[in-house]
Structure 1
Amino acid sequence: MQAVRKSPYLKWILWLVGLVGGLFFIGFLISLWLPTYFKSELDAALKRSVVDASDSLYRITYDDISINLPLGNAEVRGVKLTPDSTVYQSLLARQKAPNNQFALQANRVRLSGVALIKLLLHKSLSINTILIDQPVAYIVHNPQAYNDNKPSKSPYELISKVLKSVRIDKINLDNVDFTYENRQDSTQRPQKSQLKKLYLDVTDFLLDEDSGKDSSRIFFAQNMVLKAEGLELPSGNAQYVFRMQELSLSTRDSTLQVKNVLYEPLLSKNRFSRVTGYATDRLDLEFKNIKATQVDMKRFLVNRQLFAKKLYINAGLMDIDKDKRYPPDPNKETYYYPHQLLLKSKLKVGFETVYLKSTRVLYGELNPNTGRRGTLFFDGTHGTITNLTNDSAWIKRNPTCRVQVRTRFMNTGQLNAYFVFNLASRVGDFACGGTMNGFDMKRVNLISEALARASVTSGRVSKLNFKINASNVRSSIVMHMLYDDLKVAVLKVDDDTGKMKRRSFLSQVVNNIVLNENNPRENRPARVGEATVERARDESFFNLIWHTMFVSIKHIVIGRGKQKK
């Protein structure tokens, strides 16, 4: 039988199989050893970097680190970054303490696509994705005077001893619980801001020697998308709470949107001034949707200033109420107008145009003489505000803020009104005016019965226009009001029932002798209501306007108004 001839390539095939098998076995052994080595190195590097970068103020701990070398993935579980209180007190004593303290923790930090060779050879950290799951952040802001002019290290300087660069394609922070405690004013209780559900996506993050000079990046990233739910922020007043249901932001689109904004009093209208003991405006503000476009994101995120080209406010409620059964606050020299409050605000803002849509405005007073609350209201308010700002440089360029609105007064008359605020004035100068046609005068009973103890039984305004100029100390008005068939009932409070009761005889005297039934009357010129009103110390903005208009109307209807020739 012929012997089988061996192939000349067989031994080379066997050698190749053996070599591949040996390399595989060696690789298998290395794959078991390298993760342990890298885990140890990563553990040491992380802890050393945190201590070095924070002057030993912070420590980082975690439950476990797992590494997948072939895929370049790593996962850290149970991460905690905590400040050392002893070190902090030592830094305070040496005037080296930072303005902020951080306490951070997360269930899981997962890194994918880590370029290990690049990290080892070039000290450059490159990562595809970082996911931080359910982080909890608590920041305490306690500014120190010696830090005001103290040069601080840049983020790159903090990492430059360990890394030459850090590049991350995408960072996801999922379901953040964020608390910010402000201890800036040591005479007051710390103010807390809370975000219960915050989601942040960061795209193309680059930290190297030159990235800080790149004007297209914000916080070293090309784009940041933020969404927060359940925000509760300091209101600046212990009687109010300031909430937002949802906030969203995109640096690439330069947009900021807020839904369901509430500036809400903690006490009812009847209890508000009872608790303080003073008559002061109670504000109840609610807006369904606010959107700012073309936002200066660097000023907003870095300097906490809101500047935008356009601001849209939709579906709002502004309810202002004052209980005049109580005296004015003796600690207040004067009650500021809206533009004065804006100028005093710590938050710097600037909007070229504000668009107001579908907003309801109410102003009410509780009269101590009648024990009743009279309310003016304006429904379906639409309008624009131009040059709304408290920025000194912006005001220097243009000191005038203008407001144009159209609304329905007391659900009957179409009112077109304007306001002009002098933002540069030191005495609160402003002007306003408006026109209205076809108004049923009986609609004012909602406020006249409570505040003037008078009820309009008939009367219709065919045309009304007015102009008011005002300052901190007084206001003046010129009003034209044409009306027909005006009749009123004089009222008083019944001592037994507490209800409003008609005073028949006095009503007849007023209608037959005091009031002018029509304007113009017969062939005479129409009367014009001109008046100057000295502002009471506790009169607010809406209170002064209503008071001024009421005096002017009274001059017209009782015949004291000047006759227009």
Structure 2
Amino acid sequence: MKAVWKWIIGIFVILLIVLGGVVWYFSVHWKPIVDQKFREIVLASTDSLYTVDYDDLDINLALGNVTISNLVLRSDSNVYARLEGINKAPDNRFQIEVAKLKFRNFSIRDMLLNKELYLKNVVLDTPSVHMINKYHSYNDTASTEKSKPLYDKIKNTLKRIRITGIDLNKVNFKYSQIQKSIYQDFEIKKVNIQIQDVLVDSTSISDATRFYHTKMVDIEVPAFTYRTPDGFYKVDFDQLKINTRNRNIMLTKVAYQPILGKSAYYKAKGKGGSYVVMKFDTVRFESFDFNSLLRNKKIYAAKAQLKNGLLDIYSDKHYKSTPVNKVGRSPHQALMHMKTQLAIDTVLVQNADISYSELSDKYNQVGKITFDKSYATISNMTNDVSSLAKNKWMRVDVLTKVMNSGRLHVLFGFDMTSKTGFHTYKGTVGAMQAPAFNKILKPLLNVELASGNIKKIAFDMEATDHRNWGKFNFDYDDLKITILEKKEDGTVKRKGFISLLVNELLVNGSNPNLSGEYIIGKVNWHRHADHTFFKTLWQSLLDGIKQCVGLSKEREAKLMRTADRAQHTVEKANTVVGKTKSFVSKLFKKKKGDEESKVAE
């Protein structure tokens, strides 16, 4: 028995030595063949733009494993220059470095004899990807030459490639943009990418269930910060997740905000403008069309969701801006002017606090208006001409609380195909107390609402680039205005007599008024070219408010003449009337040369 076992063990050992020798022989002698095929695939699939180099290629035929050390994939500058010369160079090119590239369960026999490549797993350890973007205007227009699918580029070398999974661990990504020889960079580090079920053959490109030959690409990007080219703002997020199988994109803790504090910001810019802070806890896209983005640079999604946000706009009126013609720059017109084609069926903004604050150059105080707990639904948000041929209207439904008090509900309708920027807006404001607006009136105009019970506001408006018109209803009672005067020591004094004149001569204390007459504002506001969309909207609604409280131009002129005739009963009546006129002007208009609204923009 002992002799038999010796023979069995001896034969087994000899077989292992022979098998090991065969594996070693083919690993050594097939290595140049695999090396050549690998380089041919890279050249063929990239139209000779890219070449590959590495330090070592280790092949284990017994396990079907291949490991490549210190791999570098780089673009050939001479080939790229030639492509630029014939207007065929891509805007983006890459340099990729990988410390270890591992192929598992790799059949060399199938690749060489059957021209088929099967892999169970591919692992890239700590790869570094450098993407260089250089703009070429000819890539903006549709090419008459149809781009060759990946399979057509490799079919002479391989008939089929199938990979079960690809893992890219802790990818360092750098993006460089070249504009007129000026380089701008940003980097993302430690990105994890998982790719499942890769198939490249004659049918995979037309498989609607695949995203560029894959069944799923899952990407996780950690905390990231990008500074805008002007150096004044930055964009942050805590995490970005992309999943092509579930067709969603999600960002958390997204922020767009200035790098400098308010005073330093305006001092550095040296001119006026808005200081904007925008934040959202979550930004999510659902049913995102990744294939349209990849193939046609189009952004299509069924739904976008922005949750728990903040939009804070601040303006320092000590700094002035040069007037700019803003006609044709309304939100829906800006969307139509975008170079990127966009189509999102529904956009939901959920629980956002919106505020506008302004530092007065005259009183050196900050006035603020807020729209709290805001919700909005935007439907048919698109600049796709084919979609707009079926439905030309983008609708916006907004629900919020003004000064955290009155319930404001507004419905916007934007005709996306209108050459004159036609749009509509109608809405209501629920019951609230007028003194809530003192947070913006007192610091900016040095007046306050002593009392006022707003029962309801309703408006129904139409507008174009040059005019807003419609009906304005304002139901209220017990409206009293107090004019203030800031003294040199910083204290505030009430101007009782001028306040009395304003309340008795100019302002209706209620609507209906004491005579039982109900006044409806008939708005016909002509836009100033340098006023923004939102300032024009506010000025139009303000015109309706003025009419309802009795401050129409005709009535104001009549009351001024009545006050003039009563000069002999009031000492220095001309001065008083003049101050009253001045107050009215300050309350409802800005002084000549100012560019921003005193209340909101």
Do Structure 1 and Structure 2 share a fold, with TM-score over 0.5? yes
Deviation at 1:559, TM superposition (A): 5.1
Alpha carbons 1:527, 1:559 under 8 Å: kept: no
In structure 1, stretches of 5+ residues that fail to align are 1-8
Gap change, CA 1:86 and 1:549, over 3 Å in 2: same
Alpha carbons 2:328, 2:421 under 8 Å: kept: no
1:29 aligned to 2:21?
yes
Aligned residue for 1:107, secondary structure, equals: strand
Deviation at 1:151, TM superposition (A): 4.4
Aligned to 1:5: none
Aligned residue for 1:521, secondary structure, equals: coil
Alpha carbons 2:254, 2:281 under 8 Å: kept: yes
Aligned to 2:54: 62
Amino acid at match of 1:218: F
Aligned to 2:520: 528
Gap change, CA 1:348 and 1:260, over 3 Å in 2: farther
Deviation at 1:409, TM superposition (A): 0.8
Alpha carbons 2:326, 2:531 under 8 Å: kept: no
Amino acid at match of 2:246: D
Aligned to 2:434: 441
Please give the alpha-carbon distance, in whole angstroms, between the structure 2 residues aligned to 1:329 and 1:229. Answer: 41
Amino acid at match of 1:110: K
1:336 aligned to 2:290?
no
Question: Which residue among 314, 318, 321 is the counterpart of 2:307?
Answer: 314
Q: CA RMSD in A?
A: 3.1
1:546 aligned to 2:538?
yes
Point out the more displaced range, 40-49 or 188-197: 188-197
1:71 aligned to 2:63?
yes
Alpha carbons 2:326, 2:532 under 8 Å: kept: no
Aligned to 2:573: none
Alpha carbons 2:23, 2:60 under 8 Å: kept: no
Deviation at 1:380, TM superposition (A): 0.8
Deviations 1:523-551 (A, max 9, x none): 51222223332222332233222222233
Aligned residue for 1:428, secondary structure, equals: coil
1:40 aligned to 2:32?
yes
Aligned to 1:181: 176
Point out the more displaced range, 140-149 or 367-376: 140-149
Amino acid at match of 2:157: V
Question: Which residue among 210, 218, 221 is the counterpart of 2:214?
Answer: 221
Gap change, CA 1:437 and 1:290, over 3 Å in 2: same
Question: Which residue among 141, 151, 154 is the counterpart of 1:156?
Answer: 151
Aligned to 2:114: 122
Gap change, CA 1:92 and 1:561, over 3 Å in 2: closer
Deviation at 1:393, TM superposition (A): 1.5
Aligned residue for 2:439, secondary structure, equals: helix
Aligned to 2:385: 392
Alpha carbons 1:264, 1:283 under 8 Å: kept: yes
Gap change, CA 1:507 and 1:335, over 3 Å in 2: farther
Aligned to 1:4: none
Amino acid at match of 2:516: R
Aligned residue for 2:21, secondary structure, equals: helix
Gap change, CA 1:94 and 1:462, over 3 Å in 2: closer
Please give the alpha-carbon distance, in whole angstroms, between the structure 1 residues aligned to 2:428 and 2:340. Answer: 35
Amino acid at match of 1:539: H
Question: Which residue among 409, 422, 433 is the counterpart of 1:429?
Answer: 422
Please give the alpha-carbon distance, in whole angstroms, between the structure 2 residues aligned to 1:223 and 1:529. Answer: 58
Amino acid at match of 1:486: L
- Quick one: percent identity of the two aligned structures? 28
Please give the alpha-carbon distance, in whole angstroms, between the structure 2 residues aligned to 1:223 and 1:416. Answer: 42
Please give the alpha-carbon distance, in whole angstroms, between the structure 1 residues aligned to 2:162 and 2:44. Answer: 21
In structure 2, stretches of 5+ residues that fail to align are 556-601
Amino acid at match of 1:253: N
Deviation at 1:335, TM superposition (A): 7.1
Deviations 1:335-384 (A, max 9, x none): 72222222222332212222221111112344433333322211111232
Please give the alpha-carbon distance, in whole angstroms, between the structure 2 residues aligned to 1:440 and 1:328. Answer: 35
Question: Which residue among 155, 162, 166 is the counterpart of 1:167?
Answer: 162
Please give the alpha-carbon distance, in whole angstroms, between the structure 2 residues aligned to 1:287 and 1:303. Answer: 29
Gap change, CA 1:87 and 1:402, over 3 Å in 2: closer
Deviations 1:58-80 (A, max 9, x none): 33222333333222122222221
Please give the alpha-carbon distance, in whole angstroms, between the structure 2 residues aligned to 1:469 and 1:42. Answer: 71
Gap change, CA 1:513 and 1:82, over 3 Å in 2: same
Please give the alpha-carbon distance, in whole angstroms, between the structure 1 residues aligned to 2:155 and 2:65. Answer: 24
Amino acid at match of 1:226: I
Aligned to 2:529: 537
Alpha carbons 2:44, 2:154 under 8 Å: kept: no
Aligned residue for 2:529, secondary structure, equals: coil
Question: Which residue among 471, 476, 487 is the counterpart of 1:478?
Answer: 471
1:491 aligned to 2:484?
yes
Aligned to 1:453: 446
Please give the alpha-carbon distance, in whole angstroms, between the structure 1 residues aligned to 2:443 and 2:550. Answer: 20
Deviations 1:110-131 (A, max 9, x none): 1111123322321211000111
Deviation at 1:314, TM superposition (A): 0.8
Deviations 1:136-195 (A, max 9, x none): 111123354667444444322332232221110111122222233344xx4584555643
Gap change, CA 1:492 and 1:284, over 3 Å in 2: same
